[in-house]
Amino acid sequence: MDIDEEIALLSRSRLFRDCDADDLEVLAYTAVPVSFTPGETIIHQNIVADHAYYVFAGQVRLQIAGGQLPQGFAEMGDSLLLGVVSAIAGRATPWNVVALDEVQALSWPVEDLRRFLLRVPAVSVFLLEHLTGQMVDHMNALFAAQAEGSKQD
């Protein structure tokens, strides 16, 4: 994939819809395209992520070593930004992110992504909305599962 295709790809993403041409160029030129084979760990559990990924092709699964994720938590589709929470908060990721099939992504060192979020606050706000929404959905799923469990007891 050449740089123009990469810029076009980023411009189609909802995440980067508020970026102007220069922003997209910065994003593209600081990225490195990577691919992962099925089963390959993209992000490692209990380690602060050193890279963030924009996945544009392929499926990934969240896995917890020695544990299980709640229903609805583990399946994720394409057009994802992975490692961003770890990148922003500087905290270890609580799960592994593993490639289910051939995964294509763009990768940035976390410090470059952090700089980009400061440069384009609109992307930061979008991410905040997206992550908060995800958190609420997951909390709801968790509470529903607990309520279902209590009913069965």
Partner 1 sequence: MRQTIFKFIWAYSTRQQLILLAITCLSFPLVYMILEVPKWIINDAISGTHFPKSFLGFQFEQLDYLFLLSAFFMGLIILNNAVKYVLNVYKGVVGERMLRRLRYQLFEATLRFRPRSFRRVSGDQLIPMITSEVEDLGHFFSEAVATPAFQGGSLVVYIVFIFVQNVWLGLVAVSLYPLQAWLIPHLQKQVSLLARDRVRNLRVVADRVGSSVSSSEIMHASATRRYHLADFSDHLHENYRIRFDIYKKKYVIKFLNNFLNQMPPFIFYAVGGYFVIQGELTLGALVVCISAYQDISGPWKDLLGYYQRFAMADIKYSTIIENFAPDDRYTEEHVASPADEAGHKVAGVALSVSKLALEAGEGAGHLSGLSFSLPASGSLALVGDDESGRSQVLQAVAGLVPALSGSITLDGRAITTMNEADIGARIGYVEPQPYLFDASLRANLAYTLRRQPLGPSTLSESEARYRKREAALTGNSPDEVKAPWTDFARAGVADRAALDQRMVDLLTRFGLGEDLTRLGLARRPNIEALPDFAAKILKVRAGVRAEILGDPELAGLVDLWDRETINPSAPLATNLLFGFAPQRERSIHVIAEDPAIRSLLRQEKLLEPLLALGAEAAGTMIRLFIDDPDATYSPAQEHDIPRLDLEAARPWLSVFTEEGAKDLDEAGTTALLIIALCLRPRRHRMRRLTPALLDQVLAVRAIIQTHWDDFDDRYIHADAESYIPALDVEHNLLQGRVRLGKSQGRPRIREVMHRWIVQEGLEAQIQRFGLDISVGVGGSALSAHQRRIVALVRALIARPPLLIADLGDSATQDLVTELRAAQEGSLLVGVAKQKSAGALDGSLSLKGLSAQPTQR
Residues found near partner 1 in the complex (CB under 8 A): 2-4, 6, 22, 25-26, 28-34, 37, 40-44, 47, 49-51, 53, 83, 107, 109, 111-112, 115, 118-119
CB of 3 to partner 1, least distance (A): 5
Closer CB to partner 1, 6 or 85, in the complex:
6
Kindly tell me which of 1 and 128 has the beta carbon lying closer to partner 1. 1
Give just the sign of the alpha carbon dihedral 84, 133, 38, 71: positive
Handedness of CA 117, 109, 78, 143 (dihedral sign): negative
User: Rounded to whole angstroms, how far apart are CA atoms 54 and 15?
Assistant: 10
Handedness of CA 89, 90, 94, 99 (dihedral sign): positive
Distance of closest approach, residue 98 Cβ to partner 1, in angstroms = 11
